[in-house]
């Protein structure tokens, strides 16, 4: 592939050099089974232990509270199904938002079909659920609250601490889970300040490999596992650990640099992009100023997302219409925010990484202008 402009980093990111290097080392040299008692096993176990410490450092938790999984989806499923099955005798209400990633939303729908009372909190026009709504939703029979840290379509940051406070205030026997896949490695995360019991992360959104995730489980919390077998990950997640992917994730974390410095650069780029896009006179901004500045959701009113996306692709610019998982359907997240169907149908999600440059934004604006000259306008 020649020079491309990749503005779809919330779908996935290009693995960074250290991730690739680590994966190769694992495949070529550290291919032992970390559970083996002999030297090859011990050699493979060391980088797994180190990677666990790296993840723990990013979450401000203990290494023994980090469990490796195969992806963010598995972490989310483990949390939702695990809490529901282990606490169902203590209450029947579970609370989430209407704008969660499908790996949480579908898990809740499944639980709803099994008889749980589910509250789906709605966001305001900025894409944020309110602390007051959370507090109203949590009652004494609530056993689980699951709210994402950063929405994957708009970047809207959700009030996780308010959910922790609501649980405490109500005296509910609820655990708090947070899907932090879009915030991990991009903003400071402290599980204790957030007040969460469970938190999900994924490797491939931070220039690590696909197929590796982790679940933070607060010490003392126990859940049934989805997979049973050899008892790896202290019985939470059987299956031989993927040393290459775990080392790849550790490589990506190593290469992150300073999260706050990256965040400052991202904010500068986000503001630049917003102003430049507004100046084209073609674009409405759907993300709020308070959003995590790695995601900028826009609408090019009068033009449908998919032809726009393909026009940009023909110019070597890669963006997304809604999330990668929405595949052409109008975004339920934007609909929940109350956006008109015109805005929903013409939405594009731009998502940046620490490697995104202003010149790439200039090229995007140029290409969008061309797109509106070449594509057919819809009413
Ligand atoms: N949660 C959110 C908010 C996401 O954006 C994603 C991926 O798009 C996931 C969960 C799923 O992560 P994974 O692709 O590692 O399963």
- The mean pLDDT value of the chain amounts to 96
Ligand 1: nearest atom to the Cα of 148: 3
Query: What pLDDT is recorded for position 44?
Result: 98
Please state which architecture CATH assigns to domain 5-14+257-374: Alpha-Beta Complex (3.90)
Q: What is the per-residue pLDDT for 329?
A: 72
pLDDT recorded at residue 1: 57
Nearest to 188 by CA among 60, 65, 290: 60
Report whether residue 12 contacts ligand 1, using a CB cutoff of 6 Å: no
Nearest ligand 1 atom, CA 213: 15
- The pLDDT value recorded for residue 343 is 96
Residue 158 beta carbon below 6 angstroms from any ligand 1 atom = no
Structural element, H or E, at residue 144: strand 142-146
Q: Say whether 34 sits in a helix, a strand or coil.
A: coil
**Quick check: CB of 107 below 6 Å from ligand 1?**
no
Q: Which regions of 160-306 does DSSP assign to beta strands (E)?
A: 175-179, 198-202, 213-217, 284-285, 295-299
Determine whether 221 is exposed, middle or buried from the number of CB atoms within 10 Å of its CB (0-12, 13-18, 19+): middle
Q: Which of 136, 150, 128 lies closest to 93 in space, CA to CA?
A: 136
Pocket test for ligand 1, best of 202, 203, 297 (most atoms within 8 A of CB): 202
Distance, CA 202 to ligand 1 centroid (Å)? 7
What's the 179 CA to ligand 1 centre distance in angstroms?
Answer: 8
pLDDT of 322 reads: 66
User: How many angstroms is it from 131 CA to the middle of ligand 1?
Assistant: 24
Nearest residue (CA) to ligand 1, atom 13: 72
Q: How far apart are CA 5 and CA 351, in angstroms?
A: 11
What is the chain's alpha carbon radius of gyration, rounded to the nearest angstrom? 21
Domain boundaries, the chain: 5-14+257-374, 17-254
Active site members: 325
Cα(321)–Cα(344) distance, rounded to whole angstroms?
Answer: 10
Q: What is the pLDDT of residue 281?
A: 97
**pLDDT at residue 328, as a whole number:** 55
- The CATH code belonging to domain 17-254 is 3.40.640.10
For residues 202 and 181, is the Cβ–Cβ distance under 8 A? yes
CB 116 within 8 A of CB 84: yes
Cβ–ligand 1 distance for 73 under 6 Å, the answer yes
Can you tell me which residue has the tokens 């029947």?
92
Measured distance CA(157)–CA(169) in Å, rounded: 22
Q: Is 183 touching ligand 1 by the criterion CB < 6 Å?
A: no
Per-residue confidence (pLDDT) for residue 273, from 0 to 100: 98
Structure tokens at 262: 């990256």
Residue ranges of the chain with per-residue pLDDT less than 70: 1-2, 322-328, 379
Q: How far is CA 320 from CA 8, 10, 163, 308, 374, in A?
A: 6, 9, 30, 10, 20
The answer to whether 340 and 268 have CB atoms below 8 angstroms apart is no
Cα angle at 303 between 298 and 308, to 5 degrees?
Answer: 75
CA of 166 to the centre of ligand 1 (A): 26
Nearest-CA residue for atom 5 of ligand 1: 152
pLDDT in tens, 322-374: 655 455 578 999 999 999 999 999 999 999 999 999 999 999 999 999 999 99
Phi then psi for residue 67, to 5 deg, are: -120, 125
What is the DSSP-derived secondary structure letter of residue 320?
B
Among left, alpha and beta (phi > 0; psi -120 to 50; other), residue 364 is: alpha
Out of 15, 55, 73, 206, give the residue to mutate to test ligand 1, the one with the largest number of ligand atoms within 8 Å of its CB.
73
How far away, in angstroms, is 73 Cα from ligand 1 center? 6
């Amino acid at each position: 592939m020649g020079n491309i402009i990749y503005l779809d980093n919330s779908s996935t990111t290009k693995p960074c050099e250290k991730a690739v290097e680590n994966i190769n080392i694992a495949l070529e040299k550290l291919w032992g089974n970390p559970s083996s008692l002999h030297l090859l096993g011990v050699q493979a176990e060391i980088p797994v232990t180190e990677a666990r410490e790296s993840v723990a450092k990013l979450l401000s938790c203990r290494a023994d509270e980090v469990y490796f999984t195969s992806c963010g989806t598995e972490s989310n499923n483990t949390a939702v199904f695990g809490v529901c099955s282990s606490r169902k005798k203590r209450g029947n209400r579970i609370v989430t938002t209407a704008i969660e990633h499908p790996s949480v939303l579908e898990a809740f729908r499944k639980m709803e079909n099994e008889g749980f009372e589910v509250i789906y909190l709605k966001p305001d026009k900025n894409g944020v659920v309110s602390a007051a709504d959370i507090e109203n939703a949590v009652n004494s029979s609530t056993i689980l609250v699951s709210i994402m840290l950063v929405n994957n379509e708009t970047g809207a940051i959700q009030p996780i601490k308010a959910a922790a406070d609501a649980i405490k205030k109500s005296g509910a026997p609820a655990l708090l889970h947070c899907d932090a896949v879009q915030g991990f490695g991009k903003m400071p995360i402290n599980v204790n300040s957030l007040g969460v019991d469970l938190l999900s992360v994924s490797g491939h959104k931070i220039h690590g490999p696909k197929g590796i995730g982790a679940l933070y489980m607060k010490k003392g919390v126990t859940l049934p596992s989805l997979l049973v077998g050899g008892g790896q990950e202290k019985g939470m997640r059987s299956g031989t650990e993927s040393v290459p992917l775990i080392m790849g994730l550790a490589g990506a974390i190593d290469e992150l640099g300073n999260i706050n410095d990256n965040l400052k650069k991202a904010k500068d780029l986000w503001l630049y992009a917003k102003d430049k896009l507004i100046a084209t006179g073609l674009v409405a901004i759907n993300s709020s100023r308070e959003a995590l500045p790695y995601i900028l959701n826009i609408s090019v009113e009068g033009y449908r997302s998919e032809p726009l996306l393909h026009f940009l692709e023909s110019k070597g610019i890669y963006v997304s219409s809604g999330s990668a998982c929405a595949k052409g359907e109008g975004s339920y997240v934007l609909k929940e925010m109350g956006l008109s169907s015109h805005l929903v149908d013409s939405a594009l999600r731009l998502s940046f990484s620490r490697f995104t440059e202003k010149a790439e934004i200039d090229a995007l604006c140029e290409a969008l202008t061309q797109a509106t000259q070449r594509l057919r306008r819809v009413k």
